[in-house]
Structures are given as structure tokens and as C-alpha cells.
């Protein structure tokens, strides 16, 4: 018996039909007849909303702006509306209200003109397990009516080399590791030049080595000028690879901006290096410090919001604590998320 696409548990791109919700607002951020050029945001939404049958509000008035050339992290816990947003952007489902544009053209109205310049990997690649990696890509390429069959072999070989699968091109896809399948899915999205690459949880289920491989590939694509829109629930993944980020929770956008800018707006934890960490912890707790974490020669804590750090340092010295280093640490994206939402979620899976 032969395998069918997606038989290995990976869902196909475009597998969800329009659910029959009310028609989308036809007013796009730009004129539908405008050129697909390099000016302006690569993705832009205004009031984008999706309410499913039964009343579930999955995405609530989303205003999103993705600048060209960025690696844009779309961050939020599972169930926060990320995948629903991506499906609306790619024309797989219709919004209930609001508008969206890719590459300066409204979708879904101009999807036929825009989507050939967009590569997407949603919920894992759909592969024929009994075919080799090379033959899977040949099938993907043959399904593109604009692809020249005379140059198909060269296109497939280049895509495989791009994702580091040239040596495994003749191996059947069912024998690929999960990381290799993800890379083959990315290769299918890179069979032709793309100005935008949309990845939904591209490291889901991967081991640390597989995660590193995907992150490295994303950086290479961005360095070559491709804008990458990367959805994830992993704070650590976003912080390592992304230049910009938007934070979603409960279907709503909390904030968006550069990763560095979001972290810069939050004071990091207070760090103290000392051979007397126990005594330092006691002194700081007496002065209102919370969430104190002590190791052999260092402690970190949340200083009181109105604390004068110079006074805290003086109090440690007065108590006989030998302070070797003292000061706020650089705030992380996790710190920024907790400050914005008052809650946390997976940092590294």
C-alpha cells in the first residue's frame, strides 16, 4: 500500500476549507490594482477578525505590520490565534471582518498574483513517504503551472542543496528524521524565488539539533533578502532568530516592535555575584526583593519597582556581604512578555 500526502502525520498546506463565515471586508490597506513592489510592509492587517461558527472569536481586530527584510516572530501560547491568522493571510479561510495585504496587495482578492512570491509551511509538510526527497520536490514543482519543466531538475537540486539535503535526496521520505522532513518542506517552499516565507511552528517536535538546523536556515534566508514570518509559542526560539516580534494572547495583539526594543522597555532582574549569596538573599528580601534565585556564588531577584539600586548595594556592603558584581541584567523577551501579560508560557519547549 502506498503512502498518501500527509500520511506521516504532517498536515498539508491549504488543507482547511473556507468555513462559510460572512464575507470579508473588501477594503484592503492598498489598491488591489497596485504593483507588487518592494515598498511598504510585506504583511499588513487592519482590524482583521475571525469568528468561527458557534461564536468562537479566534482573532480579534488584529493590526499587524511586518517590515520588509525582517525575521518577524509571531509569538503567543498555543490557541492564541496565530495559525488562524496565517490561514487568513494565505487565503485559506476568509476573515469575518477587517483586511489583510501581502506584498502590498489585498488578500484573498489578489492571492493569485501574490502567492507565487510567497512560500509557506503550515503544520508540517505533506510528503509521499514512498517517494524520495528528490521525487517529492519534483511532484511539488510539477504542480506549479508556471514552472518550466526543462529546468525542473536544476530547481529541485538547488532547493535540496539550500536546505542541506543534497546527500539525502535519493532516500525515501519515510526514512527521514522529523528535522529532515521539515527541511524538505522548506525546500518545497523554495523551489522558486520567494520574497516572503511564512513558517508556522517550524521547530515543533524537533530535537535540539533539528531546532538549530532550522534556525540556521532561517538566518541564511533572511541574509539573502527573504522576509521570514515565523509563528512560534517558544520565547527562546523567537529571541534567538528574530529581529521583530508581535505578541498575541487570547486572539488579540498585545504589542509589536523590534525584539531589542521590547526588551529595552523592561528592567531586567537584579544580579549579584558574591561568595555570600545566602546573606545577600536575606538582606535583599528584607528590602522587598522577590523571586530570589540563589546559586553557589550568585543570586538574581526582582528588585522592588521603586528601589534605589545604589541603596540596595550599600545595604549589602553594610551587612558585610562581599559584593563582586552588582547590577540589572539585560532583560529577556521572557521578561518583557511577563511584564506585558502578567503570565508566562513555554520558554524553550
* 240 and 221 both lie in a single domain: yes
Q: Cell numbers at residue 239, please?
A: 529571541
* 104 and 215 both lie in a single domain: yes
Count of the separate structural domains present in the chain: 2
Q: Does 302 reside within a domain?
A: yes
244-249 and 252-258 beta bridge pairing: antiparallel
Q: Does 4 reside within a domain?
A: no
**Whether 217 contacts 202, CB under 8 Å:** no
Q: Does 233 reside within a domain?
A: yes
* 51 and 182 both lie in a single domain: yes
If you compute the radius of gyration of the chain from its CA atoms, what whole number of angstroms results?
A: 24
Euclidean distance between CA atoms 218 and 1, whole angstroms: 36
* 85 and 123 both lie in a single domain: yes
Read off the pTM.
Answer: 0.72
Tens place of pLDDT per residue across the chain (349 aa): 344 444 443 333 333 322 333 333 333 444 434 444 455 899 999 999 999 988 899 999 999 999 999 999 998 887 889 999 999 999 899 999 999 999 999 998 998 899 889 999 887 778 999 999 999 999 999 998 888 999 999 999 999 998 889 999 999 999 998 888 988 998 998 898 899 999 988 887 778 888 888 888 899 889 989 999 999 888 778 888 999 999 998 899 988 988 877 766 666 788 999 999 999 999 999 999 998 999 989 999 988 888 899 999 999 999 999 999 998 877 666 666 666 665 555 544 4
**Whether 157 contacts 4, CB under 8 Å:** no
* 115 and 54 both lie in a single domain: yes
Q: Does 13 reside within a domain?
A: no
* 82 and 100 both lie in a single domain: yes
Q: Is 223 exposed, middle or buried (0-12, 13-18, 19+ CB in 10 A)?
A: exposed
* 197 and 285 both lie in a single domain: no
CATH number at residue 282: 3.30.70.100
* 52 and 141 both lie in a single domain: yes
Q: Which of 226, 247, 264 is the last residue of a domain?
A: 264
Q: Does 20 reside within a domain?
A: no
Asked if the peptide bond before residue 238 counts as cis, ω within 30 degrees of 0, the response is: no
* 114 and 166 both lie in a single domain: yes
Q: Which of 211, 232, 264 is the last residue of a domain?
A: 264
User: Any idea what DSSP says for residue 267?
Assistant: P
Q: Which of 217, 242, 264 is the last residue of a domain?
A: 264
Q: Does 107 reside within a domain?
A: yes
* 171 and 299 both lie in a single domain: no
CATH number at residue 107: 3.40.50.300
Euclidean distance between CA atoms 41 and 331, whole angstroms: 28
* 272 and 331 both lie in a single domain: yes
* 307 and 185 both lie in a single domain: no
* Boundaries of domain holding 116: 43-264
Amino acid at each position: 500500500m502506498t503512502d498518501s500526502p500527509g500520511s506521516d502525520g504532517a498536515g498539508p498546506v491549504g488543507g482547511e476549507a473556507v468555513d462559510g463565515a460572512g464575507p470579508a471586508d473588501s477594503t484592503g490597506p492598498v489598491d488591489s490594482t497596485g504593483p507588487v513592489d518592494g515598498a511598504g510592509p510585506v504583511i499588513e492587517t487592519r482590524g482583521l477578525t475571525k469568528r468561527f461558527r458557534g461564536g468562537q472569536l479566534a482573532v480579534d481586530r488584529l493590526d499587524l505590520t511586518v517590515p520588509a527584510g525582517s525575521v518577524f516572530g509571531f509569538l503567543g501560547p498555543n490557541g492564541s490565534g496565530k495559525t488562524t491568522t496565517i490561514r487568513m493571510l494565505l487565503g485559506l479561510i476568509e476573515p469575518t471582518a477587517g483586511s489583510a495585504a501581502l506584498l502590498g496587495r489585498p488578500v484573498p482578492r489578489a492571492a493569485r498574483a501574490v502567492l507565487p512570491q510567497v512560500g509557506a509551511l503550515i503544520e508540517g509538510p505533506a510528503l509521499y513517504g514512498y517517494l524520495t526527497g528528490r521525487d517529492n520536490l519534483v511532484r511539488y514543482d510539477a504542480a506549479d503551472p508556471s514552472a518550466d519543466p526543462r529546468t525542473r531538475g536544476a530547481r529541485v537540486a538547488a532547493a535540496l542543496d539550500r536546505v542541506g539535503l543534497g546527500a539525502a535526496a535519493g532516500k525515501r521520505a519515510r526514512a527521514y528524521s522529523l528535522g529532515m522532513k521539515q527541511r524538505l518542506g522548506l525546500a518545497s517552499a523554495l523551489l522558486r524565488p520567494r520574497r516572503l516565507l511564512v513558517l508556522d511552528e517550524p521547530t515543533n517536535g524537533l530535537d535540539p539539533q533539528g531546532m538549530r538546523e532550522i534556525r540556521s536556515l532561517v538566518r541564511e534566508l533572511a541574509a539573502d533578502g527573504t522576509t521570514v514570518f515565523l509563528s512560534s509559542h517558544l520565547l527562546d526560539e523567537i529571541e534567538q532568530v528574530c529581529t521583530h516580534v508581535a505578541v498575541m494572547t487570547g486572539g488579540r495583539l498585545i504589542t509589536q516592535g523590534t525584539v531589542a526594543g521590547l526588551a529595552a522597555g523592561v528592567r531586567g532582574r537584579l544580579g549579584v555575584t558574591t561568595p555570600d549569596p545566602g546573606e545577600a538573599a536575606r538582606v535583599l528580601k528584607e528590602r522587598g526583593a522577590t523571586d530570589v534565585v540563589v546559586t553557589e556564588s550568585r543570586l538574581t531577584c526582582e528588585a522592588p519597582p521603586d528601589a534605589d539600586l545604589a541603596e540596595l548595594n550599600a545595604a549589602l556592603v553594610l551587612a558585610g556581604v562581599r559584593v563582586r558584581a552588582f547590577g540589572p541584567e539585560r532583560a529577556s523577551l521572557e521578561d518583557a512578555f511577563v511584564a506585558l501579560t502578567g503570565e508566562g508560557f513555554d520558554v524553550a519547549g
